[in-house]
Amino acid sequence: MTAHFFSPLTYHNTFGSHAAVFTLQPGDTITTTTLDAHGYDSAGAAAAQRSNPLSGPFAVRGARPGDTLVVHILRLTPNRAYGFSYRNLRPNVVLPGMVPRLPPREAVRWLLDLHTNTARPEIPPATLPGFNIPLSPMLGCIGVAPDREQSIISYNCGNFGGNLDSPRVVPGVTLYLPVFCEGALLYLGDGHAAQSHGELAGTGIEVPMEVEIGIDLLPSKTISIPRGEDAAQRFTLGIDRPLENALQAAVTEMLIWLQEDGLSMDDACQLLGQAARFELGNVISPAYSIACLLDKMTLTASDNL
């Protein structure tokens, strides 16, 4: 295993088969940086075009179509003392009659305190003078080059990953991504210091990040959509629109995963029918994302696993 540090000089606004900026071996770790969603760096200087500029792609030696790329999220650290969001909610998350009453789309500057692990608006809301929230750093964008040599805008997501905006993509999580091209070509970006489930404002608290990840590879292991796990849960990420289709994809992939572990279809259905939980990722972008969650304690209690 080799630990690398890579400082990006160029960025992409699409997930695609761009030339790799660095090549990793399975078992390596890499520390790199990302920009905020508008393309500003840790010093507040413009470094790339908006929206969601991506660091990478990072090639993984030996990765081939049909494999599964394994990404261990080791550390996510905001590397600027402030971030931004917007004060309004996006119109599609409220009933039509509420839309005219929503506030204008104005930026809000947030101050980040890594010592207290909190974020607060620089100008507090008038009726919430003490408002602050805990920091929960996550990557909004993580994905590989899509199949059929497609180039997909970094605002979108799909079976390749992408703009997932899932609160699952945090330190301590291992993410599994299907591989569609030689080298996999992994991209990272769109760091959030915190985010609502669903990203209801169309942003989290947008910040540049220092990112440390570990890379592994599962040769000839084929999955359909992103999967992940941490010490307590496993999850599948359904990505589609409408939200019902995304939910169906997430549940289907979890059924497949459980059967790979030895459960019958009947037993897997009974387990999910009572134990599955769901978490919204993105209900703003062209494709929505939702996580189907299953506690590992539930699995450990089964004699079948």
Q: Read off the pLDDT of residues 56-85 as tens digits, 9 standing for 90 and up.
A: 999 999 999 999 999 999 999 999 999 999
The answer to whether residues 261 and 193 belong to one domain is no
Task: For residue 302, name the pLDDT band (cuts at 50, 70, 90).
Answer: low
The answer to whether residues 151 and 26 belong to one domain is yes
Q: Could you tell me the CA-to-CA distances from 162 to 71, 96, 155, 168, 239 in Å, in that order? A: 14, 29, 8, 14, 10
Cα three-residue angle 4-217-136, rounded to 5 degrees: 65
In-domain check, residue 192: yes
pLDDT of residue 160: 98
pLDDT digits (tens, 9 = 90+) for 21-43: 999 999 999 999 999 999 999 99
Among 174, 195, 218, the domain-final residue is 218
In-domain check, residue 32: yes
The answer to whether residues 26 and 69 belong to one domain is yes
127 Cβ contact partners less than 8 Å away, ≥ 6 residues apart:
none
Strand-pair partners of 210: 33, 77
Sign of CA pseudo-dihedral 27, 190, 156, 7: negative
Domain count, the chain: 2
The answer to whether residues 68 and 139 belong to one domain is yes
Q: What is the mean pLDDT of residues 108-132?
A: 94
CATH of the domain at 239: 3.10.28.20
Q: What is the mean pLDDT of residues 5-26?
A: 97
The answer to whether residues 148 and 261 belong to one domain is no
134 Cβ contact partners less than 8 Å away, ≥ 6 residues apart:
117, 118, 119, 194
In-domain check, residue 49: yes
In-domain check, residue 124: no
Question: In the structure encoding, which two tokens stand for residue 248, read together?
Answer: 């169906």
**Which H or E run contains 274?**
helix 265-275
Residue numbers of the domain that contains 208: 3-81+135-218
Task: For residue 175, name the pLDDT band (cuts at 50, 70, 90).
Answer: very high
pLDDT of residue 300: 75
